[in-house]
Amino acid sequence: MYSAWNDMDEPSVFSTSTKTMPLDAIHVKADGTQYEHRDVHNAYGGLMQKASYNGMKKRDDYNRRPFVLTRSFFLGSQKFGAYWTGDNRSIYSEIEGSMTMILQLGNAGHPFGGSDVPGFYGMPTEDMWVMFYQMGMYYPFMRAHTHIDFPNREPWMQTQRVQEAIRDSLNRRYDLIHYIYTTFERTTHTAEPLMRTMWNEFPDQQIMWDVSS
């Protein structure tokens, strides 16, 4: 069983030009040591995710496994949950971009991630709906998500072609679910990425070194 938590885990301050906490804001440790925000910004998300995970474990009387989803993460965050790639747009370059980002992060030690399908902002074309779901079915973490200003994203509100593509993608995902689960289990022991580049799979074949994805 799981208990779930979803948050950005980052200090969002939309009234500033950087949309985050002022870089000269002061953080104070329990022992009185002070740090400017510029020195701890990147670690902030990872520490928030760790705190969320530990807090859920502490308050859960059923000893369920926490599922923590975050947008901001850091070294070691892979021990405490999954990530999503941020507020992506419904444009074609985001489909390839999501694959590249997830592959790179997998090689950097963060295997459990995905992007918003079919893009967080914008109005996807029919082709984009199809391509995003066909890509998303292979993400380690797959979810459909959208911004409040772009409603009517429910699958059953789309064209017949898009509905069939979504249904097929989800069915294929469930067809692979035992393989995906087994790959997750292996990843926890070996740190191998869940989504892998061709050179991950075929390191002895030099031709694969130049395949970007």
Q: Cβ distance 1 to 64 under 8 Å?
A: yes
Q: Does the annotation mark 10 as catalytic?
A: yes
Catalytic residue among 24, 60, 87, 192: 87
Give the sign of the dihedral formed by CA 158, CA 160, CA 165, CA 167: positive
CA distances from 119 to 136, 138, 148 (A): 11, 16, 12
Q: Does the annotation mark 149 as catalytic?
A: no
Give the separation between CA 21 and CA 12, rounded to whole angstroms.
6
Catalytic residue among 7, 60, 168, 192: 7
Q: Cβ distance 106 to 194 under 8 Å?
A: yes
The DSSP element (H or E) to which 130 belongs, if any, is helix 126-136
Q: Does the annotation mark 7 as catalytic?
A: yes
Q: Cβ distance 83 to 112 under 8 Å?
A: yes
Cβ neighbour number for residue 123 with a 10 Å cutoff: 11
Give the separation between CA 49 and CA 73, rounded to whole angstroms.
7
- The most distant pair of C-alpha atoms in the chain lies apart, rounded to whole Å, by 61
Expressed in angstroms, the distance from the first to the final Cα of the chain is 34
Residues that are catalytic: 7, 10, 87
